[in-house]
Structure 1
Amino acid sequence: MRTFTRISSRQPCRLYLAHHPSQPSPVHLASLSGTACQVKESRALKTGRGFATTAPASDAQAQRRWANSLLTLAIETSCDDTCVAVLEKERTGAPFGATPRARLLFEERVTADNRAYGGIHPLAASESHMIALAPLVQKATACLPSGKPDFVSATRGPGMGSSLASGLSVAKGLAVAWQVPLVGVHHIQAHALTPRLVEALDAARTAAASSTSSAATPTTPTTPTTPPLVSFPYLSFLVSGGHTMLVHSRALNDHRILASAANIAVGDLLDKCARAILPRGFIAAAEASAGRSLPYGAILEAFAFEGQDTETYSGYQYPRQRCDEMAPFESGHGWRLEAPLSSGVLRHALRFDFSGLNGAVIKAAGGDPHMVPGGPGRVPKVPKSTGPPAGPKITLPESERRLLARGTMQLAFEHLASRLLLALKTGAGGGGEGRDAPPTCLVVSGGVASNQFLRYILRSALEVHGYGHLPVVAPPPSLCTDNAAMIAWAGMEMYEAGWQSDLTVLPIRKWSMDANAEDGGILGPDGWVQKRAQ
């Protein structure tokens, strides 16, 4: 029997880069939050049917910073976020093995206003793209140092078809108008590469600081030679509202999916459970306070741990024994939650399954999974009146709802961690008897990666089971959710590797990363044009 206990003492979880207590504290990707990443969250502004978050880089100038650099304008419209960015990356000149340097000249996002629908609605997303995309591109072009980029990057898939088409069509038009190449980016690949972008942004800032200090201290080196932390091969947890995957990333276009969700994604689980658990009006109050739509999973995390110590999550330690790992969450109030895939032949399978947990949580909250707005397999209907969905009719007191929220996240995240450990112990994630080298780190990306409790559980699981040497890295929250900066970076890596897209390419709603998949993975679809590596 397991319960969520209050905290006593424990090694604090590093927010973006956790490390084993016996190791010296490394340079944090955590230091790349906000200002260091040149991605500053500003007050959300109402724009048409959406809300804008603006982040122009403070050092954007009318000329390129590096004499030999690459410049791209990137567009991301895979779901309900309309995102545009301009990224410059140093092409050559860095010492061998050093982290490349990059800077964001522009980055802005507009999120569709889905509050009336109780979840993402394709019609609202498409309308928001049509309203917001052109003005964002117009603002971004003003930040182009040379008047036009070297190439245009845009999300080709996977995602919602109508949303993808909005951004890809505009990107094609820009490529034609500027007479520059187009790179159609794989959205999930971009998430997996995001920590590499973060390191490049920080390397540029470190170099700039070194250059400034060298004026006073001539012996100070002006070019950092720190090797990148996130280097191939590494393991990736891609966790969002649409995807849950554990991926072995061996090279830029060589990714093997070790485990994926059989039904709903972990982010979708958190959103659905949030609608069932949160008290009536809590979502509306949180969104009113923020002035914009918020992911329900993020609201659930805030509700679950309100007033609690989220630095150490008091007393929590990942189970040491498999039997404890599979034990149910006992509330002590007459309801319990079974751990996913805790029995039967699938208990040792490399796969994720959140459907049973989803139904159990909604039942415990006093609801019907088919009556919860945005329930399994349903697209929210266009409401007759505006306003947030009414909260579930539940009788649980608020203290039990918070306990239910914590139990939901604990079992979901321990389920993720259990499959990570299984992959490491069997050698499926590299380092076994096969040809693959051991992973250099674990990357956690996607919208759910911003959940601090998830990172804490993953770090605890690795430490308890003898993998404390494996760094856990995650982008800052602003780069966990969908954004154009990651599309720009993925476009950069593909372009430098010699890959461009034909102007006839179409959006791809479902697109695997795995080359062994039926569609051939990243390079499987038609439309790729291979050029000489840049």
Structure 2
Amino acid sequence: MTTVLGIETSCDETAAAVVLDGRTILSTIVASQIDLHARYGGVFPEVASRAHIEAIGAVVEQAVHDAGVGYDQIDAIAVTRGPGLVGSLLVGVNYAKGLALATGKPLLGINHLEGHVYSLWLTEPNREIKFPVLVLIVSGGHTELLLMEDHGQYRRLGGTLDDAAGEAFDKVGRLLGLPFPGGPNIERAAMMGNAIAYKFPRAKRDDSYDFSFSGLKTAVLREVTVPPASGEPRRRGETPRLRADVSINDVAASFQDALVSALVDKTARAAKAYQVTEILLAGGVSANQVLRQRMRAEAGLPVRYPPLNLCTDNAAMIAAAGFYRYRAGLRHGLELDVKPMWPLTSDAYTR
């Protein structure tokens, strides 16, 4: 049996977890910063870094304590080295390096996106996943469509050309005056709205598997806000004012429908083209119930997604990915550095 301690600080969650054999969670601790960033309507990098520094020691020690293990029983330390916010990443990587030095345990720098992939291995520990599978990672910072042909073997089929899906949720949520984060609050508002009240564009209808949500976001802006006086361009930093006749619930439902349609259409088409066995949804936006329901209904294949507590950033997924990389022989020294921009490909760990 292999026990891995995972550490995650790529954005605004300080997290640590202990996972057995990449499948069984012994403990998972997450210190969220949502309340800190709510006043900014999004993640403020400097605030995030300071909060990580304050929380990380207690979070890691709590995870080890709750797992009921000592450091002598931990086989490896896996930490997110990228992609993410450079200041946030440095806090986790530097702490993990110090811990590895103090305990003599192997250190593994893990790709955050691969962590989201391996959150699916934590959902049903006794069920094996048969390759190839199609993975859709949808979060605040990423929208990636990957063909996974084996452990560590990825082919990127498409991704966002501009705003990530979660970023689009946050920006439209802010436009509508909804609290941060936008995703769950738009979903709640949409439950009381009419999804066909507004005809928003379905985002990049072409033969590629790429996504583009900036046009959808702009369409919402034009539809629901008061235009600048005398046709003048909107001033940078100016907060748009909603029209008096706008139904926030209808806008939320129509926007959500358009964004989900783009995700489902391209994912279902790729699943058929590459003859995969199933579809894996991961990342914070995979918590969206409409996305889950539509994907199950339209893909014609089994669709798996994490429980809600594993959709958003956590360290159990980093420990799970770390187990498979540890088993494949990955080791890093104390020279390990962060990689704020780090695509997930088959050669990601060799470049």
> What TM-score does the superposition give when structure 2 sets the normalisation length?
0.90
Contact 1:305 1:406 in 2 (8 A): yes
Contact 1:83 1:109 in 2 (8 A): yes
Provide the residue aligned with 2:5 in structure 1: 73
Provide the residue aligned with 1:488 in structure 2: 319
Q: Are the structure 2 counterparts of residues 336 and 110 from structure 1 closer, same or farther at C-alpha, using a change threshold of 3 Å? A: closer
- The 4+ residue runs of structure 1 with deviation greater than 3 A are 367-373
Distance 2:235 2:64 in 1: 46
Provide the residue aligned with 1:273 in structure 2: 172
2:19 paired with 1:87: yes
Query: 1:523 Cα deviation (Å)?
Result: 1.9
Q: Which has the higher helix share?
A: 2
1:271-420 equivalences under 5 Å are 271-278=170-177, 282-283=178-179, 294-306=180-192, 331=197, 336-342=199-205, 347-366=206-225, 393-397=241-245, 400-420=247-267
2:130 paired with 1:244: no
Contact 1:276 1:372 in 2 (8 A): no
Pairing partner for 1:440 from 274, 277, 302:
277
Provide the residue aligned with 2:291 in structure 1: 454
Contact 2:6 2:318 in 1 (8 A): yes
Provide the residue aligned with 2:336 in structure 1: 505
Contact 1:449 1:480 in 2 (8 A): yes
Partner of 2:122, secondary structure, is helix
Q: Gaps spanning 5+ residues in structure 2: where?
A: 228-232
Which AA in structure 1 matches 2:88? S
Pairing partner for 1:196 from 116, 121, 124:
121
Provide the residue aligned with 2:230 in structure 1: none
Distance 1:358 1:416 in 2: 15
Partner of 1:348, secondary structure, is coil
Pairing partner for 1:157 from 76, 82, 88:
82
Partner of 1:103, secondary structure, is strand
Provide the residue aligned with 1:47 in structure 2: none
Query: 1:474 Cα deviation (Å)?
Result: 0.3
Partner of 2:349, secondary structure, is coil
Provide the residue aligned with 1:128 in structure 2: 51
1:245-260 equivalences under 5 Å are 245-260=144-159
1:99-114 equivalences under 5 Å are 102-111=24-33, 113-114=36-37
Contact 1:88 1:105 in 2 (8 A): no
- The alignment of Structure 1 onto Structure 2 pairs a total of residues equal to 343
Query: 1:336 Cα deviation (Å)?
Result: 3.6
Query: 1:502 Cα deviation (Å)?
Result: 2.2
Distance 2:235 2:181 in 1: 20
Q: Are the structure 2 counterparts of residues 105 and 404 from structure 1 closer, same or farther at C-alpha, using a change threshold of 3 Å? A: closer
Contact 1:276 1:365 in 2 (8 A): no
Contact 1:276 1:367 in 2 (8 A): no
1:4-153 equivalences under 5 Å are 69-89=1-21, 102-111=24-33, 113-143=36-66, 144-148=68-72, 149-153=74-78
Distance 2:110 2:250 in 1: 41
Provide the residue aligned with 1:3 in structure 2: none
Partner of 2:242, secondary structure, is coil
Distance 1:86 1:392 in 2: 45
Root-mean-square deviation (CA), in Å? 2.4
Query: 1:459 Cα deviation (Å)?
Result: 1.9
Distance 2:152 2:27 in 1: 27
C-alpha deviations, 1:473-528, integer Å up to 9, x for none? Answer: 1001110000011011111111112212222111001111123xxxxx42233xxx
Partner of 1:499, secondary structure, is coil
Partner of 2:340, secondary structure, is coil
Distance 2:153 2:210 in 1: 20
Q: Are the structure 2 counterparts of residues 101 and 300 from structure 1 closer, same or farther at C-alpha, using a change threshold of 3 Å? A: closer
Q: Gaps spanning 5+ residues in structure 1: where?
A: 1-68, 90-99, 204-226, 284-293, 314-328, 376-390, 432-438, 463-467, 516-520, 526-534
Q: Which is bigger in relative contact order (C-alpha 8 A, separation at least 6)?
A: 2
Query: 1:397 Cα deviation (Å)?
Result: 3.9
> What TM-score does the superposition give when structure 1 sets the normalisation length?
0.61
